[in-house]
Structures are given as C-alpha cells and as structure tokens.
Structure 1
Amino acid sequence: MRAAVIAEDRSIDIIEIPDPTPGAGEVRIRVSRSGICGSDLHALHNPRYPSGAVMGHEVSGVIDELGSDVTNWQVGQRVALYHGTPCGHCSTCRAGHSHICRNHLDTALGLGTVQGGMAELIVVNHTLLHALPDDVSDEAGSVAEPLAIAIHGVVKGQVDPDVGVVVLGAGPIGAMVACALRARGSERVVVVDPNPLRRAAMSTMGFAAVDLEDVGSSVRGHLGGRPSVVFECSGHPTAAGLAVSLADSAGRVVLQGVPLEPVALSQFAVVQKELDIIGAASCTPSELDEALQHIQAGRIPVEQLVSVVAPLSEAGRYFADLTHGDGRHLKVQLDPTA
C-alpha cells in the first residue's frame, strides 16, 4: 500500500509499505480521509518520530477486514476513529483520566510507534471505531476527532452559554473551539487573530473576528465587557499572557495551544483577578460521539472548516504550505483513494 512517511531529511515521502493485517480484536480500515494536525507538523522535525513513521490520527474510512474476536462490526461499515488505546494500568488511567494516559505516545495513532492514517490502510483496535451515519461525509468524519478536542476544552472551561468568550487563534483548533462553543449554545464569541485571511474565514462562519491591534477595546466592544472565559488556541508564546490580561475577574483561561518555548504571564494578574488557569489536551470517546452528533445535526460548518481535500501524493506540498504558508488553510485532509 501507499503511505506518506517521514523521510530521512525530515520531509514527506510517498512510498510503498506492506499491507497491515488485523490481529485478534483488530480491524483493518481503508482510509477515506486523514487530516493534517498541528501536532503532525511539529512531529516532522521531532527526533522522537523516526524516519519511516506514518503520521495521522484524524481518520475516517471503511472497514476492510475483521480480525478474530470482532463480532460487533461488519466489513463495509463507515467509521471515524478515536486516536488511541489507553494502557489501562498507569496512574493516570487508574485515576479515571485515560484520555491522557501516561503511555499514550506508545499507543496512539501516528505518534511514531503505531502507524497513523496517512496511508491507504490502517489497522486499529475495534474499540477505536465510531460509526459514521450515512448522512455524515468522509470529510466530516475526519473532522470529528479535532472537533472532539475542541469540545473537551469547552467542557473543561465550564462555559455558561450566556457569558462572553474569547478565542485566541483562528487556526484549526481555534476555529473548532469557536464552532464547538456555538454548537453548545454560546452566541457571544469573539475570535482574535492577526491574519486577515483567517479573520475573514471566521467572519464567513458568522463569528466576530478582530485583530490584535487595540484588542482589549475591540473585545469589550463586541461583548459589552471583559470575557468570562478565554481560550488560548494559537500556541504563540505571548498568547497566554494576553489571555490573562483579557479575562475578567474570577474568570477562566483555557490553554489548548502548544507553544514550543516557555511562556510568560502575569502571576500578579492571575492572583488579583483570581483566575482559573486550565490545561486541556486530547478528548474522550464520549466527546467524539458528541462531535458526531453536532456534525449530523448541521451545527458544524464542515465545508468551511475543511479548506482542501488533497491526494495522498500531495502530502509533502501541504505539510510545507501549512508550516510556511500564509494561513489561508484551516483544515487540510488527505485522500489516499485519489
């Protein structure tokens, strides 16, 4: 089968690798769509991910073959995939937080050890499967996993639908956080991004979108006051500090961006305003189910979130564009069937 792999020079190669075979409790999926995530972009230059690794964890596809002991699924069923199997025995799993299993780097799809979805076929444990309704597209099925991560942040932020909310960053996760907020009933949402193309995209989706210039006044003008909750989704080193400065007293700051260097924020402001600082990573299987429910109900503008569906052969081009481009793309998905 064809797969997009990390090359020795840390570029993307399209090569032929052996077809995987499902074992007991596993199924083989013929991949329909595999989204490129920000974590994939970071992984390309992370030595933990060896050359030859197949990335990709935002996957939809069709069951192609069943391993032994799999009785509740059928060949030909369309599915979306959860991203990994928790180990079940680490202290985090035992404490009921298996979505952030301490051993997830060894078990999650496309993280350097287990093959990911940027290939024609992928073998996964049957517990990762979520059925795709007939009226949910392949593109939407691939969007479900990152949307579930956005939902997880909204859940952790305990967002009351009546309060004002700011989302910093209109990249894929920021855009999906805004959509998740609206799907859950929030209407007073302002998205902040310096990129005019991304602001335009958010405006097209019906959100108030403002620049960084005089951002405090712009946000207060749209919301009629300071936001009760601020989501940091950009990963920029200055954004956590901005989130703290924007948040109202007794508010919450949810950190979902992943900066590649330490960040600075005013602890004085955190203390004086009694802010809650919350980290949010990953998602739970039930949140992926919720994502699919919102998608099926038409509450998520999938066609606007997915900028491009490209053949697998063009993976290298889009990795480069997402890393060094002008930000015009929100979500790029690869189609191994093309």
Structure 2
Amino acid sequence: MTDMMRAAVLTEPGRFEIRSRPIPTPGPGEVLIRITRVGICGTDLHIFHGNYAADSLPMVPGHEFTGTIRALGAGVGGLTPGAKAVVDMNIGCGACYWCRRNEILNCPHMRQMGITMDGAFADYMVVPARLVIPAPEAVPDAVLALTEPLSCVVRAARKAQVTFGQSALVIGAGPIGNLHVQLLRTIGAAPIIVTDRSADRVAMAVAAGADIGVSDPAQLRHAVMAATEGRGTDVVVESVGQPALYAEAMRLMRRGGHLAAFGLTGPEAELPLNILDTILHENSVKGSVAGMGQDMHDALTLLVHGRIDTAAFTRASFPLEQIQQAFDSIPDRPDDLKTQIVVA
C-alpha cells in the first residue's frame, strides 16, 4: 500500500478536482476503510450546486458508501481486516440524551460524513469503529452502497408506524420515492399510489410495486379518493420538498392520517396547518430524513435478502477520475435512479 491516495475535492460549487492526499491512519477506536463504491445522493447534488453546506467547501463529499476494512486502530475488536462493510454516516457524541435515543441528528455535537466533514469520494477513509457494520462478501458492492439511502426510508416508515393494509400516497417518484414505494410494498401497505410529473418515473415506480401511478396533477385527488372510498390515504409521504406539495399532502390524507415529512425544503418554508382540524381529526406529522443506528442494520438486511429491486439503482457508474462528468450528466440520465462512483 502506497502512502498516498486519490480524493475528489469539491473546491467550489460545480467543480471537482482529483487531488493526492496522505492515506489517513486510524487512531484509537477507529477503522481505515478502503472505499469501493459510493452513491451520489440528492444532498450531494445540493452541495455540488452550492445550495447546501457551502461553508464546508472545499470538501470531499460522499456518504452512501461501502468498502473493505483495511486496518484497525488501537482498542478495536469485533471487526476483521479484509471484510466488507457499510458505515453509518452520522456521528454523534454517543452520550447525550438524543444519542441514547438514537436521535443522532439532534445531538449538539453531531457531524455527518461527506456533509460537515470529508466523506467517501476518496480511496480511503477513517471512521469510528462503532459505526462500521460488517457486510456479506457475496453481496455486490453496488447493492451494499444502497444501504444508507434505504436506511433513510426505513426510518421514515418506522416513524410513520406504517403497517399492512394501510393505504399510502408517495409524492415523488425519484430515487427515494421509488424506495419508499418498494418498502411500503414490503411492509404490506395497500393500495400504494405514486405521483410525479415524470410519466417515465411513475411507470418505473409502478413496475417497482405501486398499485396506481398518476403523472397528471389534475387527476391526483380523484385517483386518491377513488382508491380509498373517498377518505384519503392513511399515510402520505412527501419526498420532493416543495411547500405546495406538503399542503396537497395534508389535503389528501384521511382524517386521523399521517404525513411523513421527508422531502427537504428551504429553511424559510412553512407548512400550513389547521390546528383545530389537526386536533379534532387526530392527524399527525412526523419529520424524518436520515437513517441511523438500527435503521442501517435493517436496511442492510433487506438488501441482503433481496427485498429491494436494485437494478435501476446500480446500472449507472463512473470511475472516480470521471466524477465531474458523473455529476454534470445526471440531468441527462433521468432513467438512472442512482449514479455510483467506482473507487476500487
């Protein structure tokens, strides 16, 4: 192993540079991971375009990753060099009230790999050993790299307390919307309605498990009410991040229904909420955006046992040297639900 590695540094919005850096050394309680595959997340695109975490630049993004354990720091046990692994990206202090409840995003000292600190678009990365999850050797790296995004969807379903026989509407049929559809089907929700302005992505979501697809916004309310005896759905998942769609979600869930607030909006966006209706109808809203802790383990289990159709998520890949091209070309490849960077 040489002493240097490659790292794709986002030097400014829209511009990557491949730089040579020393390979980091794991300290006590840390693990050195040889990165193999990294998915490009919607958050990465926001960072790339300068709409998020701009104060962290220059930075190495990337947080949807898998790799191989290469070296263990002092005091690390239970992990084997050479084994495949995925990593929980959310680093909390591990001791505060929120960390004890697995609500790491609320930890006052929380950091996120590839967002507030350097991430995985590099040959190697040092991570806390407690966040490393061994993965089966037989599962392809392209599939393992989906663990983190799927964990976000697992957490949203857990927060929404979705169960079999519940009707569900997923707003947005992009990569995460497609995963929401697939997980809802695995749980046993029915019927599942998906809507998106892209007829092609709606068709992909229907093929992945949705019962009803709607690409014409003018037809959405009729479709929802026709499928739910006029009540509205038990659960609505907003996975786009537009205030107008959140307002529509509130109108399309049944009395006593649940809104899973997932799509990120700007910091000034507000949700119009009729307080009296919320009280009298016993409606609920639960926010969720990132998987952590047990969510990661559950997501890995679902992938290992083939509960998720990963074909549309794993067919587009670029080598690390072509990361600029990978990011630039994403708008031109709408049929690729996910783009992955092959590091090793």
Write the distance in 1 (CA, Å) between the matches of 2:160 and 2:334.
27
Task: Give the secondary structure class of the aligned counterpart of 1:251.
Answer: strand
* Aligned equivalents of 2:244, 2:71: Cα separation in 1: 48
Q: Are residue 156 (structure 1) and residue 159 (structure 2) matched?
A: yes
DSSP-derived class of the 2:146 partner: helix
What letter matches 1:156 in structure 2?
K
AA paired with 1:214?
Q
8 Å CA contact 2:83–2:137 kept in 1: the answer is: no
| Native 8 Å contact 1:59 1:142 kept in 2 | yes
2:98 to 80, 89, 92: 92
Structure 1 stretch displaced more, 293-302 or 216-225: 216-225
Residue 332 of structure 1, aligned match among 321, 327, 339: 339
Amino acid at match of 1:53: M
Query: What letter corresponds to residue 313 of structure 1 in structure 2?
Result: E
Point out where structure 1 has 5 or more consecutive residues left out of the alignment: none
Change (3 A) 1:33 1:103: farther
Of residues 217, 232, 235, the one that matches 2:238 is 232
Quote the residue 1:218 is aligned against: 223
SS at match of 2:260: strand
Q: 2:159 and 2:307 mapped to 1: Cα distance?
A: 21
CA distance in structure 1 between the partners assigned to 2:253 and 2:85 by the alignment: 39
Contact 1:149–1:283 (8 Å) recurs in 2: yes
Partner residue in 2 for 1:109:
113
Partner SS, residue 154 of structure 1: helix
Of the three residues 314, 318, 340, the one matched with 1:310 is 318
Moved more, 29-38 or 267-276: 267-276
Q: Are positions 1:288 and 2:293 aligned together?
A: no
TM-score (norm 1): 0.91
Moved more, 134-143 or 249-258: 134-143
Q: Deviations over 1:256-286 (max 9, x none)?
A: 1001251443526545643211111322321
Partner SS for 1:228: strand
Match in the other structure for 1:27: 31
Deviations 1:64-109 (A, max 9, x none): 1222222211111001111122113445335x2442243455x321
Pair 1:327–1:284, CA change in 2 (3 A): same
Structure 1 distance, partners of 2:292, 2:123, is: 26
Q: 1:265 aligns with which of 262, 272, 288?
A: 272
Q: Work out the CA distance in 2 between the residues paired with 1:134 and 1:97.
A: 28
Moved more, 18-27 or 212-221: 212-221
Deviation at 1:302, TM superposition (A): 1.3
* 1:141-186 Cα deviation digits (max 9, x unpaired): 1111111110100011011211110111112221111112122222
Equivalent position SS for 2:201: helix
Give the corresponding residue for 1:168. 171
Partner of 1:230: helix, strand, or coil? Answer: strand
Give the aligned residue type for 2:174: G
Which residue does 1:6 correspond to in 2? 10
Q: Which amino acid aligns with 2:175?
A: P
In structure 1, the residue matched to 2:180 is: 177
Matches within 5 A, 1:61-210: 61-93=67-99, 96-103=101-108, 105=110, 107-113=111-117, 115-207=118-210, 208-210=212-214
Is the Cα contact below 8 Å between 1:6 and 1:50 reproduced in 2? no
| Partner residue, 1:252 | 258
**% identical aligned pairs:** 29
CA distance in 2, matches of 1:2, 1:101: 33
Q: State how far apart, in whole Å, the 2-side matches of 1:294 and 1:80 are.
A: 14
**Which residue is 1:298 aligned to?**
306
State the alpha-carbon separation in 2 of the partners of residues 316 and 68 from structure 1: 37
For 2:181, the aligned partner's letter is A
**In the alignment, is residue 277 of structure 1 matched against residue 280 of structure 2?**
no
Report the AA paired with residue 148 of structure 1: S
Local SS of the residue matching 1:5: strand
Instruction: Give the CA deviation at 1:4.
Output: 1.6
User: CA 1:263/1:327 → structure 2, altered by over 3 Å: closer, same or farther?
Assistant: farther
- Whether the aligned pair in 1 keeps the contact of 2:163 and 2:187 (CA below 8 Å) is no
User: Structure 2: 5+ residue runs without aligned partners?
Assistant: none
In structure 2, how many angstroms separate the alpha carbons of the residues matched to 1:264 and 1:100? 21
What root-mean-square deviation, in Å, do the aligned CA atoms of Structure 1 and Structure 2 show? 2.1
